[in-house]
Amino acid sequence: MIDLLILVAVVLGIIAVSKLISILGTVSAVKGENSYNVTDKENRTQARLMPVFLIVYFAFIIWQVVSWGDRVLPVSASEHGAIIDELMNITWIIIIPVFIFTHILLFYFAWKYAYDKNRKAQFFAHSNKLEMVWTAIPALVLLILILYGLSIWNDVMEPVSADEEPIEIELYARQFDWTARYPGIDGKFGEASVRMIEGVNFLGLDSTDKESWDDKYVKAEFHLPVNRPVQFYMRAQDVIHSAYMPHFRAQMNCVPGMITRFNFIPTKTTAEMREITGDEEFNYYLLCNKICGAAHYNMKMEIIVESEEDFNKWLSEQNEFLAVEGNSKDNSSEELSVPESDSTQTINEEEEQLSLVEKVN
Amino acid sequence: MSATHQDNDFLFKYIFSTDHKMIAKQFFLTGSIMGLIGMLMSTIFRLQLGYPGESFAFLEPILGSWAPDGVLTPDKYLALVTLHGTIMVFFLLTAGLSGTFSNLLIPLQLGARDMASGFMNMLSYWFFFLSSCVMIASIFVEGGPASGGWTIYPPLSALPEAIPGSGMGMTLWIISMALFIVSSLLGSLNYIVTVFNLRTKGMTMTRMPLTIWAFLITAVLGVLSFPVLFSAVLLLFFDRSFGTSFYLSDIYIAGQALEVDGGSPVLYEHLFWFLGHPEVYIILLPALGITSEVIATNSRKPIFGYRAMIGSILAIAFISFLVWGHHMFVTGMNPFLGAVFTFTTLLVAIPSAVKVFNYLTTLWKGNIKFTPAMLFAIGLVSTFITGGLTGIILGDSALDINVHDTYFVVGHFHIVMGLSGTFGMISGIYHWFPKMFGRMMDKNLGFLHFWTTIVAAYGVFFPMHFLGLAGVPRRYYANTEFPMFNEMYDINELITVFAIIAAVGQIFFIFNIFYSMFKGPKAPQNPWRSTTLEWTTPVEHLHGNWPGELPEVYRWAYDYSKVDENGDFVGGDDFTPQTVPLREGEEDLSH
Ligand code: HEM
Ligand SMILES: [Cu+2]
Ligand SMILES: [Cu+2]
């Protein structure tokens, strides 16, 4: 249906244009005008269209704000997110008047100073004073924005210290799904490397490392306790992905070969957010936000924020690494699969990975 | 002139021409055809976004296996987005824009017989042409063209296992870009040398029109940044073909761990954006230069703050080399670096603001002629403001965390770079068409073209900000998989409808170009009553540009509506060409 409409539109467009040009050509030829010199009358018409356009443009923007304003992300569900939103609002408060002011000037001048053969344009080539003013004012405003923005940036990116007892989670990205890993009761992540991926052990956990034995990992959804700092470590298996949790104003790329991190404190449980948004089915999501292949648009995980009790209960119900069928303590199958020539490299790799994880912890 | 026998020779006149005016036309045609292809691609993938999963029967015959049953497949969606971005940025708005107008205007506005090296200039075009052919050919190879986004970040672009387009298609993308870079360097070096050496008598640097300043600085940007892209893609080529791992480390894909170690994709990102950001200004500066010229001419006023305009071009160019990291705030780069890049990025807003206020003051108390060129120049000022202001949000690292890589970015860069760049280019075409083809374009079609374009363009790109603020990521094949985006479908549909209107609106332009090229009225000597030198050359193109002596220049390019002490126009008309000597006691504004 729609393709038919488009086809019709295109055909009509072409017909209209060729008709138009032949008509206009004859008209102006009859009037003895040429087809490129803008007549005074046409000039006035174009001039009048300037304020009309301005009004239409502003009206369109207002219409969008009114009809879509409630579709933008709801209030932030994290502590730092609230501060970021505040900075965002202040930035809007600065930007919008500048936008309105300059646009009014632009289209007002265009309309007001349309060609009039009885008037001379004013020869006004420069004014140091004016130029100083509009260099200095933006500079000052930007300076404030820069300083304010940077202080927030530094706060947000500050790692959580150990005394704040953060929950630690590793987000593992691969084409095309997410896995969240919790360190288990020992509070330490077992060592992992893509070179140890084998069978069901798709995270590449080192089964000879006893810190990995109690690690827990989940797919499809992961849980967070409310009001507790969460320290994320991001790891990618194949290409760059990006862990994007828009409701928490959180994003960090997952880059093969390195561990990146981000932290935040969730402040609203899923249930609270459902109330705030008035949407019974509301859920937090983790999205992939770096192009990673064909199913990039469908790489998701649900995030459930709940009370610490509920969280602990949920976590205790998850399987430990060793409890997952197919994983075992001894790593013989892994060793068998590594060709002789590669073993030294694998060991180096493991050491490197280990030290990385240690640094991170 | 020794070239006379060549002038009669079709091959040398139209194909292997070393005449800058012909080369400008060649760049214009090739760039525009590429631009048209890029635009059609965007309409196709916009259909998928507006009507996800719906079948469009007419796509099947065009796209074949890319759209079985009329539905574009996810990986070919990405292929189209990638080619669209690549074509629009590089082929239309770098080569198409600079190639056309730097070539046409540098010799004509400076009073030179041709470029410093006509042969290099010809080579520049032919490398560009080859590059275009290779890019188009990549569409047809097995696996399809490059599909990792126009930024082709590895490992996605390095591993054919990751996406089919990273096979042969990606190799061709790299080859095409290598040819493109050669073309760009040959062109840019030529522009720089010409500007420094071939200015006619009296054409001091501070008497040059702002177009030339813009083209000169653009060329400098190109020379300094394209080689870095070249090394970036060269290393990528090594990683892909010779098993090195500059960008690769710890990768497990298609059931096996790769033997790559120690590389970093972040290195690629640094190299890429070291070009990538100046590239934005390689697009913008020529557009702004053209606008300065068009606005001054049609306001019948000198451009306000000529020196400040040059200063801001220089400042923008300089700063543009120090901001690349604003594309990388959330890549895991050290947060301290992020802070530095926020600082430098927001600084760019200062010279940009100066430019905007200078344009506004130029309009103030002018006597404005709304030619189609002028309309697009005014449109550019509007898009430059609109898109520039949202840049303040994206440049602020703390705010970028949540809008990075969302549709907010797509809206921002299309308005500030895509629209400003194309509006500048279109404005230039309406303005200098008589110089290129010796005929005039039709004004009424121009009016129609402008109003449909600006309305549809804002209709396409403004709503994208709302999508972005709702968290919709870019490069998504559909917004159907997340319940949180369910209510966005009507925004997406609206955007698609406007995109179709925008594309259809370009028919006015294309038709006007071809119609006027052959049937338009013959151009008069100086149709817009401009002061600059190009309007002193004969309408019929001539090898060497001026039949006799080269003109001599006595004043700057902006003596519009200059009055003497009695309040009468100097010379009796509201413009005084650069070739008119200064009168007794008249102040020259060039110093
Ligand atoms: C008819 C006009 C145009 C339409 C409808 C259009 C639409 C789009 C859309 C919807 C996307 C995002 C797709 C996605 O992220 O999933 C996109 C990407 C892009 N467009 Fe356009 N665009 C147009 C013109 C232009 C122009 C003139 C430029 C010139 C700079 C341009 C440059 C780009 C770039 C660089 C990308 C990014 C490609 C990537 O993500 O790799 N577009 N376009
Ligand atoms: Cu992904
Ligand atoms: Cu940039």
Q: Taking residues B247-260, report their average pLDDT.
A: 93
Q: Would the pLDDT of B173 be above 90?
A: yes
Any domain includes B473: no
Of the pLDDT bands very low, low, confident and very high (cuts 50, 70, 90), residue A26 is low
Around ion ligand 3, residues with a beta carbon closer than 5 Å are B 277
> What single DSSP character describes residue A75?
S
Q: Do residues A264 and A287 both lie within one domain?
A: yes
Q: Would the pLDDT of A351 be above 50?
A: no
Instruction: State whether residue B294 is helix, strand or coil.
Output: helix
Instruction: State whether residue A286 is helix, strand or coil.
Output: strand
Q: Do residues A138 and A203 both lie within one domain?
A: no
According to the model, what pLDDT value does residue A356 have? 45
According to the model, what pLDDT value does residue B439 have? 94
Q: Would the pLDDT of A352 be above 60?
A: no
Partners of residue B390 in chain A, C-beta under 8 Å: 95
Residue A264 near residue A258, CB atoms below 8 Å: no
Q: Do residues A103 and A37 both lie within one domain?
A: yes
Is the beta carbon of B428 within 6 A of some atom in ligand 1? no
Dihedral, CA of residue B211, residue B447, residue B362 and residue A112, to nearest 10: 180
The reply to whether residue B473 touches residue A146, judged by beta carbons under 8 angstroms, is no
Residue B328 near residue B384, CB atoms below 8 Å: no
According to the model, what pLDDT value does residue A29 have? 65
Quick one: how far is CA A237 from the chain centroid?
21
Percentage of chain B surpassing pLDDT 70? 98
CA distance readout (Å), A303 to A76, A179, A203, A251: 14, 12, 20, 14
Q: Would the pLDDT of B583 be above 50?
A: yes
According to the model, what pLDDT value does residue A58 have? 97
pLDDT in tens, B107-159: 999 999 999 999 999 999 999 999 999 999 999 999 999 999 999 999 999 99
According to the model, what pLDDT value does residue A2 have? 58
User: Of B368, B389, B422, which marks where a domain is finished?
Assistant: B422
Report chain B's C-alpha Rg in angstroms.
24
Partners of residue B48 in chain A, C-beta under 8 Å: none
Q: Do residues B418 and B535 both lie within one domain?
A: no
User: What are A29's two structure tokens?
Assistant: 């030829």
The reply to whether residue A150 touches residue B347, judged by beta carbons under 8 angstroms, is no
According to the model, what pLDDT value does residue A326 have? 77
Q: Would the pLDDT of B65 be above 90?
A: no
Among chain B residues, the shortest Cα distance to A155 is held by B398
pLDDT in tens, B396-423: 999 999 999 999 999 999 999 999 999 9
According to the model, what pLDDT value does residue B300 have? 95
Residue B321 near residue B266, CB atoms below 8 Å: no
Average pLDDT of chain A? Answer: 86
Contacts for A262 with CB less than 8 Å, ≥ 6 apart = A232, A234, A243, A250, A251, A252
Of the pLDDT bands very low, low, confident and very high (cuts 50, 70, 90), residue A324 is confident
Assess B386–A contact: CB distance below 8 Å, yes or no.
yes
According to the model, what pLDDT value does residue A5 have? 66
Please state, in angstroms and rounded to a whole number, the distance separating the CA atoms of residues B77 and B72: 6
Number of structural domains (chain A) is 2
Quick one: how far is CA B237 from the chain centroid?
26
Assess B569–A contact: CB distance below 8 Å, yes or no.
yes
Q: Do residues A38 and A90 both lie within one domain?
A: yes
Contacts for B137 with CB less than 8 Å, ≥ 6 apart = B172
Q: How far, in Å, is the centroid of ligand 1 from the Cα of B42?
A: 7
Q: Which domain holds residue A85?
A: 12-115+129-156
User: Could you tell me the CATH number of the domain that includes residue A193?
Assistant: 2.60.40.420
Please state, in angstroms and rounded to a whole number, the distance separating the CA atoms of residues B291 and A108: 19
Percentage of chain A surpassing pLDDT 70? 84
User: Of B422, B437, B472, which marks where a domain is finished?
Assistant: B422
Q: Do residues A170 and A21 both lie within one domain?
A: no
- Nearest Cα of chain A lies from the Cα of B577 at a distance, in angstroms, of 15
Among chain A residues, the shortest Cα distance to B490 is held by A68
Assess B36–A contact: CB distance below 8 Å, yes or no.
no
Any domain includes A346: no
Partners of residue B60 in chain A, C-beta under 8 Å: none
Q: Do residues A18 and A96 both lie within one domain?
A: yes
Mutate to test the pocket of ligand 1, among B37, B42, B404 (most ligand atoms within 8 A of CB): B42
Any domain includes B30: yes
Any domain includes A198: yes
Q: How far, in Å, is the centroid of ligand 1 from the Cα of B369?
A: 32
Please state, in angstroms and rounded to a whole number, the distance separating the CA atoms of residues A48 and A114: 9
Any domain includes A29: yes
Residue A238: nearest ligand to its CA? 2
Q: Taking residues B476-483, report their average pLDDT.
A: 94
Any domain includes A60: yes
Which one of A102, A135, A250 has the shortest CB-CB distance to B385?
A102
Any domain includes A102: yes
User: What are B245's two structure tokens?
Assistant: 């791992």
Any domain includes B116: yes
Residue B371 near residue B332, CB atoms below 8 Å: no
pLDDT in tens, B307-364: 999 999 999 999 999 999 999 999 988 999 999 999 999 999 999 999 999 999 999 9
Of the pLDDT bands very low, low, confident and very high (cuts 50, 70, 90), residue A48 is very high
Q: Is residue A202 packed enough to be buried (19+ CB in 10 Å), middle (13-18) or exposed (0-12)? A: middle
Of the pLDDT bands very low, low, confident and very high (cuts 50, 70, 90), residue A322 is confident
According to the model, what pLDDT value does residue A199 have? 85
Residue tagged 């669209």 (tokens): B84
The reply to whether residue A72 touches residue B347, judged by beta carbons under 8 angstroms, is no
Residue nearest to atom 1 of ligand 1 (CA): B39
Q: Do residues B362 and B231 both lie within one domain?
A: yes
Any domain includes B573: yes
Q: Do residues A224 and A138 both lie within one domain?
A: no
According to the model, what pLDDT value does residue A9 have? 73
Which residues are paired to A236 by β-bridges?
A173
Q: How far, in Å, is the centroid of ligand 1 from the Cα of B280?
A: 14
Q: Do residues A172 and A139 both lie within one domain?
A: no
For B196, other C-beta atoms within 10 Å of its C-beta total: 11
Q: Which atom of ligand 1 is nearest to the CA of B506?
A: 1
User: Could you tell me the CATH number of the domain that includes residue B300?
Assistant: 1.20.210.10
Q: What does pTM read for this prediction?
A: 0.92
- Angle of helix A40-68 relative to helix B372-394, nearest 10 degrees? 30
Residue B266 near residue B331, CB atoms below 8 Å: yes
Residue A221 near residue A286, CB atoms below 8 Å: no
Is the beta carbon of B452 within 6 A of some atom in ligand 1? no
Percentage of chain B surpassing pLDDT 90? 87
According to the model, what pLDDT value does residue A3 have? 59
Q: Which atom of ligand 1 is nearest to the CA of B43?
A: 5
Q: Do residues B416 and B531 both lie within one domain?
A: no
According to the model, what pLDDT value does residue A348 have? 45
Please state, in angstroms and rounded to a whole number, the distance separating the CA atoms of residues A262 and B9: 67
Which one of B389, B393, B589 has the shortest CB-CB distance to A98?
B389
Q: Would the pLDDT of A331 be above 80?
A: no
According to the model, what pLDDT value does residue A274 have? 96
Q: Do residues B412 and B550 both lie within one domain?
A: no
Any domain includes B317: yes
Any domain includes A253: yes
User: Of B370, B398, B422, which marks where a domain is finished?
Assistant: B422
DSSP H helical ranges for A243-337: 270-277, 308-317, 332-337
Any domain includes B427: no
Q: Do residues A60 and A94 both lie within one domain?
A: yes
Which one of A14, A50, A238 has the shortest CB-CB distance to B507?
A14
Q: How far, in Å, is the centroid of ligand 1 from the Cα of B43?
A: 10
Q: Would the pLDDT of A354 be above 90?
A: no
Any domain includes A6: no
Q: Do residues A255 and A147 both lie within one domain?
A: no
Please state, in angstroms and rounded to a whole number, the distance separating the CA atoms of residues B382 and B24: 28
- Nearest Cα of chain B lies from the Cα of A278 at a distance, in angstroms, of 13
Please state, in angstroms and rounded to a whole number, the distance separating the CA atoms of residues B176 and B170: 10
Q: How far, in Å, is the centroid of ligand 3 from the Cα of B327?
A: 6
Q: How far, in Å, is the centroid of ligand 3 from the Cα of B473?
A: 18
Across A24-38, B246-260, B482-496, least confident range:
A24-38
If we measure between CA atoms, which residue out of B305, B403, B310, B430 comes closest to residue B359? Answer: B305
The reply to whether residue A238 touches residue B252, judged by beta carbons under 8 angstroms, is yes
Which regions of B319-422 does DSSP assign to beta strands (E)? none
Of the pLDDT bands very low, low, confident and very high (cuts 50, 70, 90), residue B62 is confident
Give B50-106 as a DSSP string.
Answer: HSTT---TTHHHHHGGGSGGG---HHHHHHHHHHHHHIIIIIIIIIIHHHHHHHHHH
Contacts for A250 with CB less than 8 Å, ≥ 6 apart = A78, A81, A232, A243, A244, A262, A264, B401, B402
Any domain includes A338: no
Dihedral sign of CA atoms B394, B398, B400, B402 in order: negative
Q: Is the preceding peptide bond at B155 cis, omega within 30 degrees of 0?
A: yes
Q: Do residues A308 and A195 both lie within one domain?
A: yes
pLDDT in tens, B370-396: 999 999 999 999 999 999 999 999 999
Q: Do residues B538 and B417 both lie within one domain?
A: no
Residue nearest to atom 19 of ligand 1 (CA): B85
Q: Do residues A81 and A108 both lie within one domain?
A: yes
Residue predicted with more confidence, A329 or B66: B66
The full length of chain A comes to: 361
Residue B464 near residue B495, CB atoms below 8 Å: yes
Q: Would the pLDDT of A113 be above 50?
A: yes
Number of structural domains (chain B) is 2
Of the pLDDT bands very low, low, confident and very high (cuts 50, 70, 90), residue A24 is low
Contacts for A351 with CB less than 8 Å, ≥ 6 apart = none
Please state, in angstroms and rounded to a whole number, the distance separating the CA atoms of residues B159 and B434: 49
Please state, in angstroms and rounded to a whole number, the distance separating the CA atoms of residues A114 and A116: 6
Any domain includes B481: no
pLDDT in tens, A241-280: 999 999 999 999 999 999 999 999 999 999 999 999 999 9
Size of interface A-B (CB pairs under 8 A): 393
Q: Which domain holds residue B398?
A: 14-422
Residue B55 near residue B71, CB atoms below 8 Å: yes
DSSP H helical ranges for A196-235: 210-213
